[in-house]
Amino acid sequence: MDLTKITCTEDFRRVAQRRVPRMFYDYADSGSWTQSTYRANESDFQHLKFRQRVAVDIEHRSVASTMIGSPVSMPVALAPTGLTGMQHADGEMLAALAARDFGVPFTLSTMSVCSLEDVAQATQAPFWFQLYVMRDRDFIRNLIARSKAAGCSALVLTLDLQVLGQRHKDIKNGLSTPPKPTLRNLLNLATKPYWCRQMLGTHRRSFGNIVGHAKGVSDLSSLSTWTAEQFDPSLSWKDIEWIKKEWGGKLILKGVMDAEDARHAVDSGADALIVSNHGGRQLDGAPSSIAALPSIVAAVGDKIEVLLDGGIRSGQDVLRAKALGAHGVLIGRAFLYALGAGGQAGVTRLLQLMKNELDVSMAFCGRTDIADVDRSILLNPDFFDRF
Ligand SMILES: Cc1cc2nc3c(=O)[nH]c(=O)nc-3n(C[C@H](O)[C@H](O)[C@H](O)COP(=O)(O)O)c2cc1C
């Protein structure tokens, strides 16, 4: 694949669709139930219109910023995504290397294929770790201890997956890792030589953070069965207190979509919250993340760093989120498609394209520093104020 011919996320998506086995491509490219929230996450960005400005000196520009106090080359982190090592062999390690070299944070999911230790060894640099709270608190304590030992610089606690939203395609495809050797899967794998070649070169094909660490897991190959058995539906704000204490470092709360919950997040003493509906994979019918952002920013001001994910596919989307008050954003599918299409080089190319689009679009709006981007770069900044 000639990466110089790839110019946007949609190009990566199309290549990934060709290269990645169907069950894993579908796992990424789907939302729950009718997928209305999944679609709105992307399409709602288009409602926000930029003010084109001219004759401003835009020669010297910077999109460098900080996220939870650490410098970043642009305010974009890689979101935690489960089974990333099934989009591409050793996917978490490759994406983490691309992020490290580009100067943006990488977040490792609890449900990753490569383990905390694998990523730490590959990158020799800090990364963020995303935690799902399981019923087995000894396992959680151990996971937190492992993330400290791996040198993680932030813990991202996901709050919106105590139960699992139904994603039709995963059920129809019989999603599992590694894929079961059914005739349907084998026929599909036969059409994915790039993926198979890469996968033959690694031994990492299951949930690396869990295998050999969690007790009483009856069916690890099935994400939905395991989630139903292990994830703790009783998780509440008081658990966040002990997790914060146990962890002792920077804490980011992910999955906040409501102003009242955002105030709780401030009270919990967390360092940041992520406005997120899990990429439209959990509560279908919830608003898009960008629609929910203004009310949350209004509720918490700058008492806590407000980040956003959901539907970000381009540098312009990053700019729109910044304009409405997000301090930074995370990207999920955009980097998964790039990874599935071209491994580490694909993710690097995606980050370059996003950064360039962010920088040039900011310039067209007459701004030279990302820190000066605010609602005034938009013609209709109040578009989502009714939410
Ligand atoms: C394939 C896939 C797997 C995901 N797995 C996780 C996960 O393990 N933990 C988590 O907190 N969020 C998970 N998410 C949600 C992402 O962190 C993020 O909220 C979402 O992808 C953002 O939307 P976007 O994909 O439109 O950028 C996952 C998302 C996708 C697409």
Which residue's CA is minimally distant from atom 8 of ligand 1? 82
| Per-residue confidence (pLDDT) for residue 218, from 0 to 100 | 53
CA distance 75 to 359: 12
Q: CB–CB of 259/295 below 8 Å? A: yes
Q: Is 254 touching ligand 1 by the criterion CB < 6 Å?
A: yes
CATH superfamily of the domain spanning 3-377: Aldolase class I (3.20.20.70)
54 exposure class (CB count in 10 Å sphere: 0-12, 13-18, 19+): exposed
Residues forming beta bridges with residue 254, ordered by sequence position: 158, 274
Verify whether ligand 1 is closer than 6 Å to residue 329 (CB atom): no
Decide whether any atom of ligand 1 lies within 6 Å of the 9 Cβ.
Answer: no
Distance 109 CA to ligand 1 centre (A): 9
Query: Cα 253 to chain center, whole Å?
Result: 13
Q: Which of 384, 362, 345, 327 is nearest to 98 (CA)?
A: 345
Question: Could you tell me where the DSSP H helices lie in the chain?
Answer: 9-19, 22-28, 36-43, 91-102, 116-123, 137-149, 168-173, 183-189, 193-200, 223-230, 237-247, 259-267, 289-300, 315-323, 333-364
User: For tokens 């290269």, what's the residue?
Assistant: 19
Does ligand 1 come within 6 angstroms of the Cβ of 72?
Answer: no
Taking the C-alpha atoms of residue 243 and residue 228, their distance in angstroms, rounded to an integer, is 21
Q: What pLDDT does residue 219 have?
A: 55
- Report how far ligand 1's centroid is from the alpha carbon of 333 (Å): 7
Ligand 1 centre distance from Cα of residue 82 (Å): 7
**Catalytic residue check, 47:** no
Q: What is the pTM of this model?
A: 0.97
Give the whole-angstrom CA distance, residue 291 versus residue 321: 10
For ligand 1, atom 15, which residue shows the shortest CA distance? 278
Q: Whose CA is nearest to atom 6 of ligand 1?
A: 81
Ligand 1 atom closest to Cα of residue 334: 27
For residues 327 and 321, what is the distance between their CA atoms, to the nearest angstrom?
A: 8
Catalytic residue among 47, 60, 213, 278: 278
Q: What are phi and psi of 252, to 5 degrees?
A: -120, 125
pLDDT by position in tens, the chain (length 387): 899 999 999 999 999 999 999 999 999 999 999 999 999 999 999 999 999 999 999 999 999 999 999 999 999 999 999 999 999 999 999 999 999 999 999 999 999 999 999 999 999 999 999 999 999 899 999 999 999 999 999 999 999 999 999 999 999 999 888 889 999 999 999 999 999 999 999 999 989 998 888 776 655 666 667 677 888 999 999 999 999 999 999 999 999 999 999 999 999 999 999 999 999 999 999 999 999 999 999 999 999 999 999 999 999 999 999 999 999 999 999 999 999 999 999 999 999 999 999 999 999 999 999 999 999 999 999 999 988
Q: How far is the CA of 376 from the centre of ligand 1 (A)?
A: 30
